[in-house]
Chain A
């Protein structure tokens, strides 16, 4: 299985993501700079976390208008799986690849801690080895993770089973509507989430709760 990571100035979680992808697939991901207009052949394209363009204007806003994003849009439309984590989620939302918006945390503070994450949809490419209803520990680190969508969009997400992850057990760290931590697009091939599963997969991370997510990628 081939993977690719898209890199923007200010992204800083790409190495953690590359290690997680390599551990799961046995191959290092291709790294694609934001000025590229083509993305090499890959079964999964990941937009990692960080602080692209210093979060200027709105988190993810400037990265979402980069040259590489047209290529990403084409690949997503063609059915390639796309995963956005943290800033990557913000970028996908700003690019219109996922609905809604990620706003300033309700408590106004940057949150860096572990939350409990409930798996709500086990049919996506990222959750196929994680049973629905499973609750895992996962770190979050963000200032703008407060998921917002208008009532109609929210109803569409909920009715379509498109909420993939929810903050569980009262651990919502940012005021997200319906405790939403991650969603999938209508076509089922673009997943975005605020928490960092790539940082909960090996003994050195303290726990390995999120390893099945990555193991599931290569299982297809």
Chain B
């Protein structure tokens, strides 16, 4: 089973990298772009075949290491 983990900054946490990207997009004349937020994407294979157990396993990984829950949210997709 493959897990796809998306990690994003929580609302209200400043994202200077997102701001820099937004500035660059605007300088490329892309109009109407706002709220650019940069995150991380982590893909991993897991041996577990039961979806519920796999989700619990990846959730524990996110809580313990993959995300810093002080500033980040995570979203897990299993495929």
Contact = CB atoms under 8 A, between A and B. Distances in A.
Contacts of A101: 68, 70-71
Contact of B65 (A61, A104, A107, A150): A61
B57 interface: no
Contact-residue size bin, chain B (C-beta under 8 Å from the other chain): 10 to 19
A57 B13 CA distance: 18
Contacts of A61: 65, 68
Contacts of B13: 103, 148
Contact of A106 (B16, B64, B66): B16
Specify the main secondary structure of chain B where it touches its partner.
helix
Contacts of B17: 104, 108
Chain A CB within 10 A, most for which of B13, B64, B65, B66: B65
A175 B68 contact: no
Q: A105, A107, A146, A150 — which one has the most chain B CB atoms within 10 A of its CB?
A: A150
Interface residues of A, number: 20
A175 B14 CA distance: 10
A108 B70 CA distance: 20
Contacts of B66: 57
B64 A149 contact: no
Contact of A100 (B16, B64, B65, B70): B70
A108 B68 contact: no
6 contacts: A62-B65, A104-B17, A105-B16, A106-B16, A108-B20, A175-B14
Given A101-B68, A104-B16, A106-B16, 16 more contacts: A57-B65, A58-B68, A61-B65, A62-B65, A65-B64, A65-B65, A94-B68, A99-B70, A100-B70, A103-B71, A105-B16, A108-B16, A108-B17, A148-B70, A148-B71, A149-B70
Pairs of residues from A and B, 7 with the lowest C-beta to C-beta distance, nearest first: A101-B70, A101-B71, A106-B16, A108-B16, A101-B68, A58-B68, A65-B65
